[in-house]
Amino acid sequence: MLLRSSLPGEIERGNVAAGVAAGAHYAATGLIIAQCLYGDDLATLGISIVFFVIAQATLHLFVVLFRALTIYAEDQEIMGENVAAAVSYAGAMLAIALIVGHAVEGDFEGWGVSLRSYAVALGSSLVLYPVRQLGVQTLMLRQRFALRGGALDRLVAQERNVGVSAVEAVSYLAAAVLLTGCRDRRGAGSGIRRVRGALEGGRDHLRPVAGGRPRFRPEPVLLSAGEQGALYRAAEEMAKAWNELCALCAADPGLVTGFLGLTEVQQALWWSSAPQWHGIARADVFLTEDGPLVCELNCDTPSGEAEAVLLNRTAAIPGLSDPNADLPGRFCAMIEAVGRSVRPAGSEPLSLGIIYPTEMPEDLSMVLLYRQWFEERGWRVTLGSPFNLRRLGPRAAGLFDTPCHVFLRHYKTDWWTERRPAWADEAEAPDPSRSAARSR
């Protein structure tokens, strides 16, 4: 609203103050858009557009009311290239935009409820008045308190003190950030699109939403014995076909080098365990109208164990069976069987090294769950990345300086090997290991 159509001309004229004010306009509108506009259907998008219009009107109304605290005219000062006035105006505009944007954030629960919540949430903007008149003018600048105007106006309008206006603007923004942040922690967001609530009362897990509706529900999905059996059979049939392919590759090395085109390091990894192809694998099977369909068979560092075990345990219903209840025991039995084949005789506890990409937190919950399972059995567990592997003797290795009997690898195979482009017409990827090999 400030200067209306005069801002573009003032900017072209080289008026820095006008540029600051215009930048604040665009940034404030962006903050409102980010909170309002969403939706994957016409009904939801329509609601968000209505709230965007309401929020924009509120923003400009509140800016006009707040700037009434000054005894100088911001538009005239900015036309006169007063950068201090522009900075003060920009701080107020952005702070109010933060508060208004936070007010429209929330679940749409009907026009009456949402608009009332919106109005209540806007009440926090009243805090900006004592921030200006008391916090900045009286406490920071040590000037006499005034209900309107005062020494702050003189410093901005007459002396054009940009430092003072910067303090004023930052104070507005800090207050707005603290207000909206504190209300977030109390769960007091209101309006149309809050990712609200926990999966169950007292839980700290956020419920994702899509199109204004929860994407997940707190109740577990129950499968009949027939559905469970159909899913199992589909996964087992896919695993059987994959196992047959691995047996063919083990019997005919030409398939590995020619048909599959594995690199030298990939071949070494394959022949170190051929024809075994997994310790644990995950089949992604979906129930469709055409029956169970397998989307993926992940036998190279599969993830999802934490979700499968912990969520099922959390949502357990008495009288029903949890298909993942035995996973910890069966997985650890496999590790123990491997340990018996390589562990020297004696009473020393089994020492395990879990190798995973330590710079990537996505599967950290699973790594920590593995560690918990192993430590519950009295095993010694060391975590690290491939860069922490150490040769500790002619037939010994470990992580850091800790010898390990067994290594559990959660680090994808192709991350260990040469970098090769996926497509024939793709440029060669930079590979330091190949450069080092050529230099030798």
Question: For residue 315, what pLDDT is reported?
Answer: 84
Q: Is residue 265 within a helix (H) or strand (E), and if so which, with residue range?
A: helix 264-271
pLDDT mean over 342-346: 76
**Omega into 432 within 30° of 0, i.e. cis?**
no
Residue with tokens 């036309």: 79
Supply the pTM of this predicted model.
0.51
- In this predicted model, which residue has the larger pLDDT, 63 or 283? 283
Contacts of 242 (CB under 8 A, 6+ apart): 277, 297, 299
- Start-to-end CA distance of the chain, whole Å, equals 70
What type of residue is 216? F
Cα-based torsion angle of the residue sequence 93, 98, 100, 101 in order, rounded to the nearest 10 degrees: 130
- Count of CB atoms within 10 A of residue 391's CB? 9
Range with lowest mean pLDDT among 83-97, 178-192, 267-281: 178-192
Q: Over 50: is that where the pLDDT of 78 sits?
A: yes
Using the predicted structure, report yes or no on whether residue 245 has a pLDDT greater than 60: yes
Question: Which sign, positive or negative, has the C-alpha torsion 244, 246, 247, 251?
Answer: positive
Q: Which residues contact 82 (CB under 8 A, 6 or more apart)?
A: 17, 156, 157, 160
Give per-residue pLDDT as tens, 405-422. Answer: 999 988 887 787 877 776
What's the pLDDT score for residue 118?
A: 77
Give yes or no for a contact between 386 and 411, defined as CB atoms under 8 angstroms apart.
Answer: yes
pLDDT above 50: residue 167 = yes
Which of 74-83, 320-329, 380-389, 426-435 has the weakest average pLDDT? 426-435
Q: How far is CA 62 from CA 126, 174, 308, 358, in A?
A: 10, 18, 50, 48
Distance of CA 205 to the CA centre of its chain: 13
- Helix, strand or coil, per DSSP, at residue 258: helix
CB within 8 Å of 436: residues ≥ 6 apart: none
Which residue from 381, 377, 264, 373 is spatially nearest to 327, judged by alpha carbons? 373
Per-domain boundaries in the chain: 6-214
CA distance 417 to 428: 14
How far is Cα 391 from Cα 380, in angstroms, rounded to an integer? 18
Pairing assessment for the beta strands 291-298 and 282-288 based on DSSP bridges: antiparallel
